[in-house]
Structure 1
């Protein structure tokens, strides 16, 4: 049975209208310095870092695994071709060689790591840019590209998989490139795509326009594969797709762009959830979405909203460039560990592939961003006003923002890969990782770490049962089935539930109460209350059940692969008050209990917890009774 939720009414319409009203009444141009030339410089530096890794066949060889990986080479071909279009003619021969090699990999069914489905959109993009410059080679390219038979050549097709649950992002990615091949007259037609789009992709969109990846009956819904699938389908629309699904698809993508804008953090990052989170290509795909929709919105006569979308795209470029090294390469995940260490990498993450795929998507963004500099940047929602957003479908996330500060709460209670609690706090005046920016895990799933223990650590309630054992909400509720990282989970498995009992956003503050029910050890119900203003988040937990102590887990950034924080357990003289202070990257964050008699402990199992950004250290506050409260203080 298909359980995916869609709807006709845009669920965040009130928040969107409030934001547009703020833009119209208090116009505020943002001078962020992200000109087209600055963006080109980021892309060029990234592309030129890999020329030295191109072999005599045109392939890009990964310096760490010493082989060609995934779709590194076609990614390079497209990114280099866009730079050739921009006048970097010395890259022409290199781009052409990469394209020739990539086409051969697909036609001869020798794509590295069995990933041919990712090749066509980049091959066709490079082909379109280079064919007029190299007419003799273009004839050979055309002949080879005309030989592709989609159902035979690619992996994620019904002919190969014979399973509708497997028609996931791979299939949409392949279709986007195949549409470009058909548009160039190199394929018979594009009619066969309609059945795939109609049957397997349109049903995955929520009312918010978010794409739910994973099996149709229980999608695991990573934000990374939402944004990247919308990027690929957006390339189709930008290139004139007008098939039977076009109107519905265009509406989904418009909604998705607005939802991504409303949910974007003040540091230009999409929410953290699911596999491939905090990989740089997430924000590259978002930059494309924001850029293209900024143009469409401006054409529709809404310059203020277009300015916010332009600013969102700029912030995504900024988020990526922050992790570009002096030699032009990227830390492909947001930490400073070496690429050899693979800290926070997925099992499939690869340095060269994900650096160059980021480059390819940024190249697409420049290619379809002509004229965006005529749009004056305006603040994004997370930079102005206040809002509370509850995602629909199976994304299980609540996002609260106020005046340059954002808090992300995950509400999945039976998913060990996406644990419940506050999993991210970001503020524009703090380093992005300070909050911290990601939580621990109950199960590492796809993710590997160079060091640190696997533990479900987030800002979450904790309690000691009558047998003396400590538990936490972040542990979630065990399901009846073993966790399947590929197949996903059923959010109803295990019997838990989460309800937004109340929420409000006005006057520079947000207020949320969540009610958690389920078979938690010794506890029937948990209420978590969050009140946020700029510089401060007040948190209160109330538990109903038979417990000895109530507590709170506190995740603290400890190490990012380069810099260690200094964590203080503060005892105030003359008062029975203990608090926590973290010093990191020249800034300070404090966590101060507000319930009398609260003590701070440092459990051994929380001493070194692995997360995508490095290592966390966890504290546990505790007191008697059924309630505990504390304040997270952030510099204003």
Structure 2
């Protein structure tokens, strides 16, 4: 099938282009962060620098030598919106709406992921700007001890008893995915409670609403990048939301009628160090909009 072959050819070229930033560093990086390789930020015990950089070089060399010449054809995300759920055993959910590509872990392994929306890629923006991967609470990969691991995704929490219960730390008993034009709804079921998450793409805005029926106070939990090991972000917090400037891009979170504050501590994944901003609302629902632009 020449059209399918052309789509794979284009996917391979785009994947290689996405690596340029890290391969052009001195020394080259084998993980998508800018920390010096000696720090081993994000490294698995079986994936040291020399071994995995050689593996990457080998894979790219084989692709170059064995790849047939021919035209490229569009990949799926360039021609249509789609939603893909991998089923209960893998509990992953993918969605693509134009430039906005999303990934959820619906029942996370705390060693590698956090429950909720853990990957938000936006066109040509740096993948770590929002999140390229969730932050696990018990990471199996290497991180400095001072990072104090903490589960983090773009998700919500609700006040129960005397403390907050966080979706990112939860292990749902089940879930339901409801597809809709330019969006979707996820309903998580856990310990007799439901959490409703609705995502809509409106032009250049991503709108997310969380609702926890029966709760009297909820908050959205929004990751804010602090540093990738080389570049430190500029973060502005106001009653109207959050603005993050990083590597020539701006990431804006808009809210209305909620309390906005920076929570203490930090969280880390393989890509960067993050802070956590809470958007706190009275009642059982909270909503925000996300926008990414150059400049």
Question: 1:448: how far off?
Answer: 1.0
What CA deviation, in whole Å up to 9, does each residue of 1:259-312 have, x standing for no partner?
Answer: xxxxxxxxxxxxxxxxxxxxxxxxxxxxxxxxxxxxxx32xxxx3x33222110
- Matched with 2:183 is 511
Matched, 1:404 2:99: yes
Q: Give how far 1:367 is off.
A: 2.8
Sort the Cα spacing of 1:326 and 1:421 in 2 relative to 1 into closer, same or farther, 3 A. closer
Q: CA deviation at 1:380?
A: 1.6
Shift of 1:437: 1.4
- Residue 499 (structure 1) aligned with residue 176 (structure 2): yes
Aligned to 1:362: 60
Q: Choose which of 177, 201, 220 in structure 2 pairs with 1:552.
A: 220
* 1:352-394 residue CA offsets vs partner (Å, 9 max, x unmatched): 110101111112212321x32x2x2232222332111111362
Partner of 2:209: 540
What is the alpha-carbon distance in structure 1 between the residues aligned to residue 121 and residue 25 of structure 2?
26
Partner of 1:34: none
Q: How big is the alpha-carbon RMSD for the aligned residues of Structure 1 and Structure 2?
A: 1.9
CA contact (8 A) 1:405 1:534 kept: no
Does residue 454 (structure 1) correspond to residue 153 (structure 2)? The answer is no
Query: Does residue 614 of structure 1 match 2:241?
Result: no
Q: Which residue of 2 aligns with 1:198?
A: none
CA contact (8 A) 2:251 2:290 kept: yes
1:590 corresponds in structure 2 to 252
Q: How does 1:391-470 map to 2 (within 5 A)?
A: 391-392=86-87, 394-413=89-108, 415-444=110-139, 446-450=140-144, 451-467=146-162, 469-470=163-164
Question: CA contact under 8 A between 1:452 and 1:609: conserved in structure 2?
Answer: yes
Match of 1:353 in 2: 51
Pairing 1:525–2:189 present? no
Q: Is the 8 A contact 1:335 1:614 kept in 2?
A: yes
Q: What's the TM-score, normalizing by structure 1?
A: 0.44
Shift of 1:635: 2.2
Aligned mates of 2:25, 2:153 — CA distance in 1: 33
Q: 1:420 to 1:633 in 2, by over 3 A?
A: same
- Do the aligned residues in 2 keep the contact of 1:416 with 1:476 (CA within 8 Å)? no
1:312 aligns with 2:6: no
Cα pair distance change 1:318/1:440, threshold 3 Å: same
The answer as to whether partners of 1:388 and 1:504 remain within 8 angstroms in 2 is no
TM-score scaled by structure 2? 0.92
Specify the alignment match of 1:321 in structure 2. Answer: 20
Aligned equivalents of 2:109, 2:133: Cα separation in 1:
18
Q: How many residues were matched structurally? A: 293
Q: Which residue of 1 aligns with 2:40?
A: 342
8 Å Cα contact 2:224-2:274 kept in structure 1: yes
1:331 correspondence with 2:3 = no
* Unpaired segments ≥5 residues, structure 1: 1-296, 478-494, 572-577
* Aligned counterparts, 1:124-163, within 5 A: none
Write the mapping of 1:380-399 to structure 2, written as runs, cut at 5 A.
Answer: 380-392=75-87, 394-399=89-94
Matched with 1:562 is: 230
CA-CA distance at 1:534 after TM superposition = 4.7
**Aligned partners of 1:379, 1:584: CA distance in 2, in Å?**
30
| Separation in 2, partners of 1:414, 1:338 | 27
Pairwise CA distance, 1:556: 1.2
Q: Structure 2, unaligned stretches of length 5 or more?
A: none
2:169 corresponds in structure 1 to: 475
Normalized per residue, which structure has more strand?
A: 2
**Counterparts in 2 of 1:105-120, with a 5 A limit?**
none
Of 601, 606, 609, 2:261 maps to 601
Higher helix share goes to which structure? 1
- Name the structure 2 match of 1:97: none
Q: CA deviation at 1:463?
A: 1.1
Cα gap change, 1:414/1:337 in structure 2, threshold over 3 Å: closer, same or farther?
closer
| Separation in 2, partners of 1:382, 1:581 | 27
Alignment partners' CA distance in 1, 2:233 and 2:29: 20
Contact kept? 2:110, 2:151, Cα under 8 Å: no
Instruction: Return closer, same or farther for 1:516/1:555 CA change in 2, 3 Å cut-off.
Output: same
Q: Deviations over 1:91-147 (max 9, x none)?
A: xxxxxxxxxxxxxxxxxxxxxxxxxxxxxxxxxxxxxxxxxxxxxxxxxxxxxxxxx
Higher relative contact order (CA 8 A, sep 6+): 2
Shift of 1:618: 0.6
User: In the TM superposition, what whole-angstrom CA distance separates every residue of 1:320-362 from its partner, at most 9, and x where no partner exists?
Assistant: 23311355x5311100001110001112221111010111111
Higher Rg of the two aligned structures: 1
- In 2, the alpha carbon distance for the partners of 1:414 and 1:354 equals 23
Please list every run of at least 4 consecutive aligned residues from structure 1 whose deviation after the TM superposition is greater than 6 angstroms. none
SS in structure 1 at match of 2:283: coil
CA separation of 1:383/1:322 partners in 2, compared to 1, >3 Å: closer, same or farther?
Answer: farther
CA distance in 2, matches of 1:359, 1:308: 22
